[in-house]
């Protein structure tokens, strides 16, 4: 089917008479476009021609050759529109549906995070925060999402990510991330320098590539002391150093702690959402005598149920269920064993934050001490084996 004839309309007619061939020859000489020409009998042909040519020229040609024509089918956009002449509501509905489809296809339906190796949950939460600040969420127009700027913002906010890609695919936004520290390539330098200790440690292994070692295995090196010398010889010292380090944390032993307890009162709110718009659904919480105002003393859990097609494609609409549970802060007294156990848990958390991820914990030791002011503390010490990143000293 040709596009232009369909836009302006065309008809399929049957030419019948003693000499239908003459009718066709005259039509061609007058420049009338004909197609789909087939013989339907000994004295008849079927063909298609534009609607405008049929109205202007066919009657004069029929009088000249003594043939008659009969319209078999009317096709094209003008005849399609004519059907809605007395169905204006249907025509308006179709136009609105087409406009709605065009509008929805130009909007973001969902934003999906694709974590790679080394990406933690904290990275995902921070990326979601950056996406919210930059306006990347369901319901915004695809043209307003600048993928390079969003990827650059996420990468600059999180130094432990090495690669971030934000791409558009259909009506979805995919955010791909890879972990690992992105370090700049080391610029070679021939300037002489020494290697000094950045912290206290016991030397376990020292592999010297250039320079002179000043300590032996088993000796204690204090912070700031030179381990490998190179300045005096005019060399740039280079070495791999492993050492035994110790990390200590102290946590006060508390006799009472504050903890959050549930009061037993709760309520559930449901809402219908379309893109970023939420519409609360009717529930008993609308009734004044059933509505509960917990204020800030409550915990909220939200469950989101998306509607989807049978093939699994998720739509940007569904229902959210928010459950609010009232809580209160209560002071709980601890006995001796519970106080030590609580202090030990806090100390292990602090120690885990203090010990580097690259260090290997060899052993841990704990003890309860009383300070000069009478405060009782729980002390935990971890003995670790780690590779020491030596400090470069290039001036005497």
Give residue limits of the domains in the chain. 3-81, 110-179, 194-243, 256-333
Query: In the numeric block, which tokens belong to residue 192?
Result: 């002489």
Sequence-ordered list of residues with C-beta below 8 angstroms from that of 122, at least 6 positions apart, any chain: none
Average pLDDT over residues 354-361: 90
Q: What angle do CA 223, 226, 231 make, to 5 degrees?
A: 150
Whether residue 347 is predicted with pLDDT greater than 80 in this model: the reply is: yes
Provide mean pLDDT across the span 164-182.
Answer: 84
Q: Is the pLDDT of residue 187 over 60?
A: no
- Percent of the chain past pLDDT 90, that is, above it, reads 24
Q: Residue 26 CA to chain centroid, in angstroms? A: 67
Q: How far apart are CA 376 and CA 365, in angstroms?
A: 17
Lowest mean pLDDT among 29-43, 78-92, 156-170, 382-396: 78-92
Interaxial angle between packed helices 147-157 and 121-133, expressed in degrees from 0 to 180 and rounded to the nearest 10? 130
Least confident of 3-7, 106-110, 221-225, 322-326: 3-7
User: Could you give the CA distance from residue 161 to residue 115 in angstroms, rounded to a whole number?
Assistant: 11
- What's the pLDDT at 181? 53
pLDDT over threshold 60, residue 94? yes
Pairing of β 172-179 and β 110-115? parallel
What is the mean pLDDT of the segment spanning 100-128? Answer: 87
Question: CATH fold of 110-179, please?
Answer: Ubiquitin-like (UB roll) (3.10.20)
Instruction: Grade residue 209 by pLDDT with cuts at 50, 70 and 90.
Output: very high
Residue 191 has pLDDT above 80, yes or no: yes
Percent of the chain with pLDDT over 70: 95
Q: Is the pLDDT of residue 352 over 70?
A: yes
In the beta sheet, which residues pair with residue 269?
322
Lowest mean pLDDT among 67-71, 274-278, 288-292: 288-292
> Cα–Cα distance between 237 and 228 in angstroms, integer?
6
Given this model, what pLDDT does residue 186 score? 46
Q: Regarding predicted confidence, which is higher, 162 or 195?
A: 195
Contacts with 317 (C-beta within 8 Å, 6 or more apart), sequence order: 272, 273, 274, 275, 306, 307
Q: 20-29 vs 51-65: helix axis angle to the nearest 10? A: 130
- pLDDT tens digit string along 311-340? 777 777 889 998 888 888 888 888 888 888
Structure tokens at 99: 């406009």
pLDDT beyond 50 at 185 = no
Give the whole-angstrom CA distance, residue 160 versus residue 126: 12
CATH 2.60.40.10 corresponds to the domain 3-81: no
d(CA 387, CA 240): 8
In this predicted model, what pLDDT tens digit does every residue of 232-283 receive, in sequence order? 888 889 999 999 999 999 999 988 888 888 888 888 889 988 876 788 888 7
List CB contacts of 291: < 8 A, sequence separation 6 or more: 267, 285
* DSSP-derived 3-state class of residue 312: coil
Question: Quick one: pLDDT at residue 188?
Answer: 52
Q: Which of 214, 222, 216, 212 is nearest to 245 (CA)?
A: 222
> What is the overall mean pLDDT for the chain?
86
DSSP E strand stretches across the chain: 10-17, 35-41, 44-50, 67-75, 110-115, 161-169, 172-179, 194-196, 201-210, 212-213, 220-221, 226-229, 238-252, 256-274, 277-280, 298-308, 314-333, 360-370, 376-388, 391-393
Q: How confident is the model at residue 348 (pLDDT cuts 50, 70, 90)?
A: very high
């Amino acid at each position: 089917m040709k596009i232009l004839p369909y836009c302006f309309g065309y008809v399929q007619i049957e030419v019948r008479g003693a000499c239908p061939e003459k009718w066709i020859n005259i039509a061609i000489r007058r420049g009338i476009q004909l197609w789909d020409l087939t013989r339907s009998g000994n004295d008849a042909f079927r063909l298609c021609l534009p609607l405008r040519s049929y109205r202007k020229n066919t009657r004069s040609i029929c009088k000249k050759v003594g043939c008659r024509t009969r319209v078999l089918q009317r096709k094209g956009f003008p005849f399609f529109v004519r059907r809605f002449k007395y169905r204006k509501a249907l025509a308006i509905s179709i136009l609105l549906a087409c406009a709605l489809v065009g509008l929805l296809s130009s909007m973001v339906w969902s934003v999906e995070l694709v974590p790679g190796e080394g990406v933690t949950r904290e990275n995902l939460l921070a990326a979601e925060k950056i996406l919210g600040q930059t306006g990347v969420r369901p319901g915004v127009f695809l043209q307003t999402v600048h993928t390079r700027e969003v990827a650059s913002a996420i990468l600059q906010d999180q130094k432990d990510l090495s690669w971030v890609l934000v791409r558009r695919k259909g009506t979805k936004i995919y955010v791909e991330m890879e972990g690992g520290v992105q370090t700049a390539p080391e610029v070679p330098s021939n300037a002489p320098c020494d290697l000094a200790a950045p912290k206290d440690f016991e030397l376990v292994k020292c592999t010297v590539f250039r320079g002179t070692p000043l300590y032996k295995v088993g000796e204690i090196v204090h912070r700031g002391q030179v381990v490998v010398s190179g300045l005096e010889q005019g060399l740039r010292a280079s070495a791999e150093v492993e050492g035994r380090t110790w990390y200590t944390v102290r946590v006060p032993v508390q006799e009472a702690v504050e903890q959050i307890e549930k009061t037993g009162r709760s309520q559930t709110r449901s809402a219908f959402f379309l893109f970023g718009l939420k519409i609360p659904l009717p529930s008993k919480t609308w009734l004044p005598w059933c509505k509960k105002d917990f204020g800030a003393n409550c915990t909220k859990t939200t469950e989101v149920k998306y509607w989807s097609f049978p093939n699994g494609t998720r739509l940007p609409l569904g229902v959210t269920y928010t459950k609010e549970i009232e809580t209160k802060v209560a002071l709980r007294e601890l006995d001796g064993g519970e106080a030590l156990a609580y202090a030990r848990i806090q100390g292990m958390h602090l120690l885990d934050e203090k010990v580097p991820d690259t260090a290997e914990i060899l052993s841990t030791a704990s003890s309860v001490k009383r300070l000069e002011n009478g405060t009782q503390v729980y002390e935990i010490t971890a003995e670790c084996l780690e590779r020491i990143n030596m400090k470069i000293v290039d001036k005497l």
